[in-house]
Amino acid sequence: MSELEIKKEVERQFEILKRGCEEIISEEEFKKKLENSIKNNKPLKIKLGIDPTGSELHIGHAVPLRKLKQFQDLGHEVNFLIGTFTARIGDPTGKSETRKMLSFETIQENIKTYLEQVKLILDLDKLKVVYNHNWLEKLTLEEMLKLLSMFTVSQMIQREDFSKRLSNNQPVSLIEFTYPILQGYDSVALEADVELGATEQKFNLLRGRDLQKNFNQEQQVCMIMPILVGLDGVEKMSKSLGNYISIKDTPTDMFGKIMSISDELMQNYYEMITNIPLEEVKDMLANHHPMECKKRLAFELVKEYYGEETAKESKLWFENVFSNKNLNVELPEVKFDENEMPALELLSRLKFISTNSEGRRLIDQGAVKVNDVQIKSINEVINLENGTIVRCGKKKIVKIVK
């Protein structure tokens, strides 16, 4: 390739990869790495580390995974690092207390579930899965002390979550100080060129740069990804808050959940969870009705996980049920053995609400209907006959079956 062709290819890859990034440390270094990679036909080593502490991935988790897919498609080496050692410590990032250590058995179970879901986004044939117990368990006490000597206590307490806890007289264990150091050492072990992480991981990612410099390696580029805001438009997407879309949700659930977000969230969601060119997104949001823009967003999300035909079916289903109010379509079904149940308990059992106060608010607002009859009290007893249709708000609907 000529110098001009190389320069064009660097810019092409950079434009693809910078999309959706909060920060790249540094852009100049990243472009230089891309240039050397293209010139020498040597793929960059990309690192994303996860601790398998849970079992269900949502589309917020998918944001960095989609970035890895872009690296895969551009021919780079993607290292999916599973923290089989560090998960036993628990990443303290964003936590107000020390996390419990996980057993190796629990970690192994979570790994299986993770990889089953990851393959919905990444090409496993092009994915290098690595486990950090393979090198961290081999560190001698002397080597570990040498690592610790490269950092100071004052550096560690610069982390926002550590400093907050200390100012509130909450304990921070010494083992938590080792977590960012061990994560940084992972980058040394892999000789990583680029590490991906969420904004709350920035401190840890920079420790990888520090350690690589100390080990006379070329420093990794830190690609900082924003945290996806949940469906409520306020908190980060989280299973515990109930404001999430699982990557294994049914197509109709995915579609309906996207339709429930605020208009203000659409720009961010289009940028983070789709590949539609941003100029096209900008034009669409400026010149089309928000409902149509939201349908397109929901369509694109379902298409990514289930294909175009299923996305079309989900769109048609949504329009039939919620726009045309045609209930002669297949509705999600929930089986109940009980013949009756108080309204608030029913909403909870159907997982339509995450708290009782939310249920009270929805009923007070007239948002809950059974067979198209508005429910007026949280204590109203609902007859659960076969075929009963329960609606909650604009986007949640099920049919009771016996």
Bind-site residues for ATP? 239
**Among candidate residues 124, 122, 132, 118, the one with its CA nearest the CA of residue 187:** 132
Sheet of strand 373-374: strand arrangement: 333-335, 396-401, 389-392, 368-370, 373-374
For the annotated binding site, the residues are 239
Query: What distances in angstroms separate CA 189 from CA 132, 134, 182, 193, one per listed residue?
Result: 9, 10, 10, 12
> In terms of C-beta density within 10 A (0-12 exposed, 13-18 middle, 19 or more buried), how is residue 168 classed?
exposed
H helices of 193-323, in order, are 202-214, 251-259, 266-273, 278-287, 290-306, 308-318
Indicate the residue type of 167.
S
Question: Which segments within 84-220 are labelled E, that is strand?
Answer: 127-131, 194-198
CB 178 within 8 A of CB 198: no
